[in-house]
Amino acid sequence: MKYKKVQIEWLDSKSGPSGWEYKDELSILEPTKCLTLGFMLEDRQAYKVIAQSISDTQIYSRIAIPTECIVNIKIWEE
């Protein structure tokens, strides 16, 4: 099976420091911008599944990215 090569820009959650913080000293806490390159294994309405590497018989390092977090998808043509 042939998989599309994709580049996905997406937002991930980000935590602040663990522990107490003074309210008047809080820094801005924004989601983290991520970039994932790989092979699209599943293109579902709710999420996309990307693999880092593929061989004839195996798949390495999958990630499921919720569609709501995706900013942009670029499909790399051959």
7-54 pLDDT, tens digit per residue, is 999 999 999 989 999 999 999 999 999 999 999 999 999 999 999 999
The single-letter DSSP state of residue 11 is E
- Asked whether the predicted pLDDT for residue 1 surpasses 80, the reply is no
d(CA 71, CA 12): 11
The CATH class given to the 1-12+33-78 domain equals mainly beta
Closest alpha carbon to 70 in 40, 47, 42: 47
Residue pair 62/51 in contact by the 8 Å Cβ criterion: yes
d(CA 15, CA 23): 16
